[in-house]
Amino acid sequence: MKALSLAVCAALFLTGCGHKASDQGGDVVKIGLAAPLTGPQAQLGQDMANGARLAVDEINAGHPQIGGKPVTFRLLAEDDQADPKTATNVAQRLVDDGVAAVIGHMNSGTTIPASRIYYQAGIAQISPSATAVKYTHQGFDTAFRVMANDAQQGTVLGDFAVKTLGAHRIAIIDDRTAYGQGLADQFERTVKALGADVVDREYTTDHSTDFMAILTNIKAKKPDLVFFGGMDPQAGPMIRQMRQLGISAKFLGGDGVRTPQFITLAGPAAEGAYASTPGLPIGKMPKGPEFQAKYTAKYGPIQQYAPYAYDAVYVLAGAMEKAGSADPKTFLPVLRQTDYQGVTGPIRFDANGDLTQGAITLYQVQKGAWVPLQTFQKH
Amino acid sequence: MDILAQQILNGLVLGSIYAVVALGYTMVYGILELINFAHGEVTMMGAMVAISVIGLGLAAGLPALPLIVLAMLAAIAACMLLGLGIERFAYRPLRRAPRLAPLITAIGMSILLQNIAMMIWGKQYIPFPPVFPQGEHRILGAHVTDVQIIILITTVLLMLALTLLVKHTRLGRAMRAIAQSQPVAQLMGVNVNAVVAATFAIGSALAAVAGVLVAANYGQAQYYMGFLLGLKAFSAAVLGGIGNIAGAMLGGLLLGLIESLGAGYIGQLTGGFLGSNYQDVFAFFVLILVLVFRPSGLLGERVVERA
């Protein structure tokens, strides 16, 4: 027992030392990156890591200075396996390693539990991709994101359904996950406020493949639009079964649906489906084509989140330079005042750490591919 | 009216699949009193093998009908081998062990098979190529697809064949004899190992067919699909009376109908208080009710405690 507590003391002492070194703005500023680097979402996670790497390499090549002293940024990439438990372990490890800030995590389900650890350690966190509203609404002054959140997405989807698609009778399905339910609730509030009828609200799970019973119910209510809050493994068979049952209503979903996998799984039934994604298509981003050329030369095609991770690093480095310190206590208030023209668009944070001008783009499946229709962005 | 007809049809299709998978659970339980938790994974393997074979066949330019037959046969062969292997290496060494040991092995087997499938086919859902006929029909106002009709007909045929096998063949008689008393059957010259292996092979073949049909119906398969399907089918077997073949069929169809009608009408029945998210709760509530009043299931024989 005594040996154990001695070991714990020693460990605490050592990590304490490590932390101090980076606080004092020595030559190395450590930035953590947490994302699923292995497993089914590894491609997306690696994409995010590479986006951040590209930014760190570029910044280092420009001989950055913080508070008049030359510094080198170092990226510590950790694998959270898209698993909340692993994510908290990884977060603790990054804190122990003395990072000044963290880019990540990728999934809302990992970002939210990890955010508490960063908050308690007073470390800045920017998620390039977590969209769950809760992440920035826990009262943590350390939590930021550079992508529009689900509430913003749900609102835009509701607007689009009623104003652009002219839907009056709307049926809503969600998969009872935090993401699906949150998106569907915000969508429902928006369409109701715009005077459309929500004729049916049905539920499924994120493991189901049979939706015949709930779709038959929906069919009886004769909707002109079916909204689904959930992911592509459900959306694919769902739209097939809709068409099978002779439901000709339009189909609309969020970013969980706007994937190539949805088109593969739904087959010809996917044609004409609508879905949204936060952010702009890479070709429409202010500095998108330029970024794409740089990134592709080094890492191959962009998957999705690379430009957001890239911007997040620049935003962090900018705040540190301006504050003249890599100590989160000093640069956090400066980070909140960020006004930066990134690859992905203008980055300014509101009091919660959400983007004030997050863009949302609507897509439709046309001839077997997602085609961007229009982008909504507050000005 | 069309809505009710549609919900009943939905329930029958879902129930048929549960029933075919439930047969595998009930046959093994009837003979060995073992719950083969890996059975759902055998179903999944059938679907996966069929998708791979169809993919290869399509690349080789085979026409649809021979391709379906080939995929089905490949899935059946692969699953029978798998079933035989599971029995030989995971269950036979433990046949005389306390009953908890093979149960744990079964759960381990299920996890092992999931992980093997994940390594071979990945974690993503993979699409089932549209090789089955894709026609649609209207019956009593309900929309029915060709695949659904194939599922219903196949289920009836499989059940008839299995009933004939168990009631009127030598193998069937041997299976029933072992179910009654393994030592006595052995004394009468029944080769217990061979019959148990045959039971696993037949149950796995049924699982293969079910797996292919499920994947064709929903257009996709994934390494995890066997778990929930297996759980539902197991519940169906218990509902009908585990160990009883007619019970598995009845239990499967009933569970499918309850789920479908439950999801369809639970909202109206409770005035919107409960929604379709209570679909599974409703199905399992019925299961619990049945078991409270008939602990051995609907068609289960009352089990007399062995002296």
Per residue in A267-305, pLDDT tens?
A: 999 999 999 998 888 888 989 999 999 999 999 998 889
Please give the residue of chain A at the shortest CA–CA distance from B127.
Answer: A265
Residues 217-276 of B with CB under 8 A from A: 218-220, 222, 224-225, 228, 259-264, 267, 275-276
Positive or negative, the Cα torsion across A317, A319, A325, A326? Answer: negative
Residue B265 lies in a domain: no
Q: What average pLDDT score do residues A15-43 get?
A: 70
Task: Tell me which of B99 and A375 has the higher pLDDT.
Answer: A375
The predicted structure's pLDDT at residue B1: 62
Nearby residues of B230 by Cβ (< 8 Å), 6 or more positions away? B21, B25, B37, B39, B40, B41, B43, B110
Please give the residue of chain A at the shortest CA–CA distance from B256.
Answer: A213
Asked if the model's pLDDT at residue A12 lies above 80, the reply is: no
The confidence band for A11, taking pLDDT boundaries of 50, 70 and 90, is very low
Count of C-beta atoms within a 10 Å radius of residue B171 = 14
User: Measuring CA to CA, how many Å separate A36 from each of A102, A149, A252, A278, A306?
Assistant: 14, 20, 28, 20, 14
Residue B245 lies in a domain: no
Residue B13 lies in a domain: no
Which one of B18, B279, B281 makes the best mutation probe of the A interface by having the most chain A beta carbons within 10 Å?
B279
Q: Nearest to residue B34, comparing CAs of B109, B94, B88, B99?
A: B99
| Whether the predicted interface score ipTM is above 0.90 | no
* Mean pLDDT of the residues in chain B: 90
Q: Do A212 and B218 touch (CB under 8 A)?
A: no
Q: Does residue A81 sit at the B interface (CB-CB below 8 Å)? A: no
Q: How far is B17 from chain A (nearest CA, A)?
A: 12
Q: Nearest to residue B54, comparing CAs of B173, B209, B212?
A: B212
CA dist., res. A203 & res. A194, Å (int): 23
Q: Does residue B133 sit at the A interface (CB-CB below 8 Å)? A: no
Contact pairs from chain A to chain B, CB under 8 Å: 85
Span(s) in chain A for CATH 3.40.50.2300: 2-148+284-348, 151-278+360-376
Q: According to the 3-state scheme, what is the secondary structure of A312-335?
A: HHHHHHHHHHHHCCCCHHHHHHHH
Q: Nearest to residue A304, comparing CAs of A24, A107, A59, A94?
A: A107
Please give the residue of chain A at the shortest CA–CA distance from B13.
Answer: A212
Q: What average pLDDT score do residues A82-99 get?
A: 95
Angle at A351 between CA A350 and CA A355, to 5 degrees: 25
- CB-based burial of residue B270 (10 Å sphere; 0-12 exposed, 13-18 middle, 19+ buried)? exposed
Coarse DSSP helix, strand, coil percentages of chain A, rounded to the nearest 5 percent: 45, 20, 30
The minimal CB distance from B220 to the residues A219, A236, A245 is found for: A236
The confidence band for B301, taking pLDDT boundaries of 50, 70 and 90, is low
CA dist., res. A342 & res. B42, Å (int): 51
The 10s digit of each residue's pLDDT in B265-280 is: 877 777 777 777 777 7
The confidence band for A158, taking pLDDT boundaries of 50, 70 and 90, is very high
Angle at A4 between CA A3 and CA A5, to 5 degrees: 95
Q: What average pLDDT score do residues B6-31 get?
A: 93
The confidence band for A18, taking pLDDT boundaries of 50, 70 and 90, is very low
User: Measuring CA to CA, how many Å separate A302 from each of A54, A288, A371, B124?
Assistant: 12, 11, 17, 20
Q: What average pLDDT score do residues B70-93 get?
A: 96
The minimal CB distance from A202 to the residues B122, B262, B276 is found for: B276
Query: Which residue type, as a one-letter code, is found at position A41?
Result: Q
Please give the residue of chain A at the shortest CA–CA distance from B128.
Answer: A265
CA dist., res. B107 & res. A310, Å (int): 45
Q: Specify which residues A363 forms β-bridges with.
A: A275, A372
The predicted structure's pLDDT at residue A7: 47
Q: CB of A173 within 8 A of CB of A179? A: no
The 10s digit of each residue's pLDDT in B182-209 is: 899 999 999 999 999 999 999 999 999 9
The confidence band for B294, taking pLDDT boundaries of 50, 70 and 90, is confident
The predicted structure's pLDDT at residue A14: 44
CA dist., res. A39 & res. B68, Å (int): 32
User: Measuring CA to CA, how many Å separate A165 from each of A77, A258, B153?
Assistant: 43, 18, 42
Please give the residue of chain B at the shortest CA–CA distance from A269.
Answer: B219
The structural domain count of chain B equals 1
Q: Do A210 and B267 touch (CB under 8 A)?
A: no
**Phi, psi (5° rounding) for residue A199?**
-80, -20
Q: A2-148+284-348 architecture in CATH?
A: 3-Layer(aba) Sandwich (3.40)
Q: What average pLDDT score do residues A34-63 get?
A: 92
DSSP B93: G
User: Measuring CA to CA, how many Å separate B25 from each of B29, B174, B223?
Assistant: 6, 18, 20
Asked if the model's pLDDT at residue A367 lies above 50, the reply is: yes
Q: Do A207 and B127 touch (CB under 8 A)?
A: no
Topology of the domain comprising A151-278+360-376? Rossmann fold (3.40.50)
Residues of the domain holding B78: 20-224
The minimal CB distance from B260 to the residues A176, A202, A213 is found for: A213
Q: Nearest to residue A188, comparing CAs of A226, A222, A221?
A: A226
The 10s digit of each residue's pLDDT in B26-40 is: 999 988 888 999 999
The predicted structure's pLDDT at residue A4: 47
Chain B residues close to A211, C-beta within 8 Å: none
The predicted structure's pLDDT at residue B88: 94
Q: Nearest to residue A56, comparing CAs of A100, A97, A106, A116?
A: A100
Please give the residue of chain B at the shortest CA–CA distance from A217.
Answer: B264
Chain B residues close to A213, C-beta within 8 Å: 7, 10-11, 259-264, 276, 279
**Phi, psi (5° rounding) for residue A363?**
-125, 160
The predicted structure's pLDDT at residue B284: 82
Flag the least confident range among A24-38, A112-126, A155-169, A291-305: A24-38
Q: What average pLDDT score do residues B161-167 get?
A: 92
Residues 25-64 of B with CB under 8 A from A: none
Chain A residues close to B284, C-beta within 8 Å: none
Which one of A205, A206, A214 makes the best mutation probe of the B interface by having the most chain B beta carbons within 10 Å?
A214
Chain B residues close to A220, C-beta within 8 Å: 3
Q: CB of A361 within 8 A of CB of A344? A: no
Q: Do A244 and B275 touch (CB under 8 A)?
A: no
Residue B299 lies in a domain: no
- CB-based burial of residue A108 (10 Å sphere; 0-12 exposed, 13-18 middle, 19+ buried)? buried
Q: Do A261 and B125 touch (CB under 8 A)?
A: yes
Q: How far is A61 from chain B (nearest CA, A)?
A: 39
Chain A residues close to B123, C-beta within 8 Å: 39-40
User: Measuring CA to CA, how many Å separate B70 from each of B53, B57, B206, B210, B214?
Assistant: 8, 9, 16, 16, 17
CA dist., res. B68 & res. B259, Å (int): 30
Cis check: omega of the bond before A207, within 30 degrees of 0: no
